[in-house]
Each structure stands twice: as structure tokens, then as C-alpha cells.
């Protein structure tokens, strides 16, 4: 039998959905985790040392792209790439950013899981690459 609840449901207009989305966004940005994440992102963007180590790591990665695809990077080049990656990860601004990102991710996942549970559809999967 088709649930009467569904048939009797009052349709929410696009403006009502939009307001609920805006309220959700406003509540999310007010959390300490989001504020921390924003602060860490900004600090990372303005940290010259972190930017330098990131550029060095990315440049090395780019120069080895073809060999990386073939899994044929010579051992010494692989060691140099790892050294540059570690230098990047050791930068305080970078580790602070990843820590903040990890915390906001847990929160966003919990919110998306709750949305998915109610909807019977995976919110995050529906918004995967190519559809957003």
C-alpha cells in the first residue's frame, strides 16, 4: 500500500528549500570547526614557507608525472619526492590545515549522512564529480 503520508505531503516550494539550505549553511559556518578550517586555509595561503614547499613538491611531481604513471621512478628520484612531500607536510601551517580539514570533514559527513538517511538517497554520492 502506498503510504498516505507521502500522498498527503505538502510540497515544499523551491524558495522554502532554498531557505532551509541557507539556514543550514549559516549554521555550518558558525561552528568552531568551520571557523578553524577557514582560519587554517587562510593561514596556509599566506604562509610563504608552506607555499614554497608545496610548489617544490608539486614541481617535482609534475617532472616525474610520466614515470609515476608507469611506476618507473628511479629510487633516488622517489626518495627526493618523498623528502619534498615530508618537508611540505612538516610545515606547521600545512599540518594545521589538514587537522582542521579532518575535523570539518567529520562534521560534514555526519550532516550528509543524516540528510541521506532521511532522503533514502546518498547526498554526497549524488553530488560527486561531474554533477556539481
Residues that bind another protein (CB under 8 A): 1-3, 6-7, 9-12, 14, 16-18, 20-31, 34, 38, 101, 104-115, 117-121, 123-129, 131-132
In the complex, minimum distance from the CB of residue 4 to another protein, in angstroms, rounded to a whole number: 10
Tell how far CA 100 is from the center of its chain.
11
Supply the minimum distance, in Å, between the C-beta of residue 67 and another protein.
Answer: 25
What is d(CA 14, CA 80) in angstroms, rounded to the nearest whole number? 53
- Residue 53: exposed, middle, or buried by beta-carbon count in 10 A (0-12, 13-18, 19+)? buried
CB of 23 to another protein, least distance (A): 5
By beta-carbon proximity to another protein, the closer residue of 67 and 106 is 106
Q: How far is the CB of 57 from another protein (least distance, A)?
A: 20
Q: Rounded to an integer, what distance in angstroms lies between the CA atom of residue 9 and that of residue 119?
A: 14
Q: Of 68 and 107, which CB lies nearer to another protein in the complex structure?
A: 107
Q: Hey, how many other C-beta atoms are within 10 angstroms of the C-beta on 93?
A: 21
Amino acid at each position: 500500500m502506498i503510504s498516505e503520508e507521502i500522498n498527503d505531503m505538502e510540497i515544499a516550494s523551491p524558495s522554502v528549500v532554498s531557505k532551509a539550505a541557507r539556514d543550514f549553511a549559516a549554521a555550518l559556518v558558525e561552528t568552531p570547526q568551520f571557523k578553524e578550517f577557514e582560519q587554517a586555509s587562510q593561514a596556509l595561503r599566506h604562509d610563504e614557507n608552506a607555499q614554497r614547499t608545496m610548489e617544490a613538491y608539486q614541481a617535482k611531481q609534475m617532472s616525474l608525472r610520466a614515470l609515476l604513471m608507469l611506476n618507473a621512478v628511479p629510487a633516488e628520484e622517489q626518495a627526493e619526492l618523498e623528502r619534498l612531500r615530508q618537508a611540505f607536510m612538516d610545515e606547521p601551517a600545512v599540518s594545521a590545515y589538514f587537522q582542521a580539514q579532518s575535523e570539518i570533514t567529520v562534521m560534514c559527513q555526519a550532516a550528509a549522512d543524516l540528510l541521506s538517511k532521511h532522503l533514502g538517497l546518498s547526498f554526497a554520492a549524488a553530488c560527486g564529480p561531474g554533477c556539481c
